[in-house]
């Protein structure tokens, strides 16, 4: 039996508990998730290395999943452009059953091997891309179709599951199995399994963006200044890194065309915008290599 489908002895009788005891019970189960993720640290790091190398070579990261797992992939992909100023193509996600499945369950979609193959073709996967298949059980025919087709194209394949005996394992270059144990409610993999998957996806996308220079220290230096809040955040970042005033930060941010990296190089290296861009291009836009 798949672990997430097993009966959890710690939560038997949860239907008769008070609200506070329900909260404490779920919280106690959730405490196990971070430790389960920790046990897969090496494999997660391997996935980050695959993805960051792909990014540096013009490749993309593409998530595939069904149900909750697919929705988590869409969530992570959708958050990358505003956070890291990545293109819409750089991190993408496909869910079994198509866009409708984001808001309404499409029964049977995860059982279609052919749909998995079709989604890989639709995504125009290339040999320099990395495909991440996400599934609590790791057994859907949809994902097997995705992984077999992606592998045949030459793409690297990562599997993210909560089951070491997952069928997708044999198709993976990197296999991440975060075994969180039986769910609070038997089979409700949106709970501990979903939390574990969200944590790992955060690590893969964030770690990969860090490796290619989209973070300086622990600051989002590629954030898009698309509203007042983000302009103010950009100013705070410039003030902190350059140890300058709010007035100077805004001045150089405006001079740069609201690009934090360009503004910082202009300010800290005392160069004009064109020279700042040239210096960043020489170092693949890794700010640390320009300003130290």
Q: Calculate the CA dihedral of residues 213, 214, 215, 221 and round it to 10 degrees.
A: 130
What does each C-alpha distance from 259 to 64, 82, 234, 274, 275 come to in angstroms?
Answer: 32, 13, 9, 13, 14
Q: Could you confirm whether 79 is annotated as catalytic? A: yes
Distance CA 14, CA 88 (A): 43
Encode pLDDT of 102-156 as tens digits: 888 777 778 899 999 999 999 999 999 999 999 999 999 999 999 999 999 999 9
Q: Which fold has domain 228-291?
A: Helicase, Ruva Protein; domain 3 (1.10.8)
Q: Which of 29, 40, 110, 179 is catalytic?
A: 110
Characterise 58 by phi-psi region: left (phi > 0), alpha (psi -120 to 50), beta (else): left
Task: Name beta bridge partners: 174.
Answer: 158
**Domain locations in the chain as residue ranges:** 3-211, 228-291
The gap from C-alpha 262 to its chain's centroid, in whole angstroms, comes to 26
Q: Could you confirm whether 110 is annotated as catalytic? A: yes
This prediction has a pTM of: 0.90
Q: E strand or H helix at 131, and its extent?
A: strand 130-134
CATH classification number, 3-211, choose in 2.40.50.100, 2.60.40.420, 3.40.980.10, 3.40.50.10490: 3.40.50.10490
pLDDT at 158: 98
Residue 3: pLDDT over 80 = no
Q: Which of 5, 46, 53, 79 is catalytic?
A: 79
Encode pLDDT of 20-47 as tens digits: 999 999 999 999 999 999 999 999 999 9
The token pair that represents 138 in the structure block: 């790791």
Distance CA 203, CA 252 (A): 32
pLDDT at 2: 66
% of the chain at pLDDT higher than 70:
99
């Amino acid at each position: 039996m798949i672990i997430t489908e097993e009966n959890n002895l710690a939560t038997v009788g949860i239907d008769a508990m008070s609200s506070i005891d329900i909260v404490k019970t779920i919280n106690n189960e959730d405490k196990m998730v971070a430790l389960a993720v920790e046990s897969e640290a090496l494999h997660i790091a391997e996935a980050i290395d695959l993805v960051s190398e792909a990014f540096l070579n013009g490749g993309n990261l593409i998530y595939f999943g069904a149900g909750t797992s697919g929705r988590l992939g869409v969530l992570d992909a959708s958050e990358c452009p505003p956070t890291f100023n990545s293109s819409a193509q750089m991190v993408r996600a496909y869910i079994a059953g198509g866009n409708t499945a984001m808001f309404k369950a499409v029964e049977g979609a995860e059982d279609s091997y052919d749909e998995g193959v079709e989604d890989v073709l639709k995504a125009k996967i290339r040999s320099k891309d990395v495909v991440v298949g996400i599934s609590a059980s790791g057994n859907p025919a949809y994902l097997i179709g995705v992984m077999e087709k992606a592998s045949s194209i030459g793409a690297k394949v990562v599997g993210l599951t909560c089951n070491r005996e997952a069928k997708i394992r044999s198709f993976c270059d990197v296999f991440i199995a975060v075994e969180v144990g039986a769910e609070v409610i038997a089979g409700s993999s949106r709970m501990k399994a979903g939390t574990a998957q969200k944590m790992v996806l955060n690590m893969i996308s964030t770690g990969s963006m860090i490796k290619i220079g989209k973070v300086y220290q622990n600051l989002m230096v590629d954030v898009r200044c698309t509203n007042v809040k983000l302009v103010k955040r950009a100013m705070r970042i410039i003030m902190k890194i350059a140890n300058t005033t709010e007035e100077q930060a805004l001045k150089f941010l405006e001079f740069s065309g609201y690009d934090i990296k360009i503004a910082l190089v202009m300010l800290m290296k005392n160069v004009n915008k064109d020279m700042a861009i040239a210096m960043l291009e020489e170092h693949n836009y890794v700010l640390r290599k320009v300003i130290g």
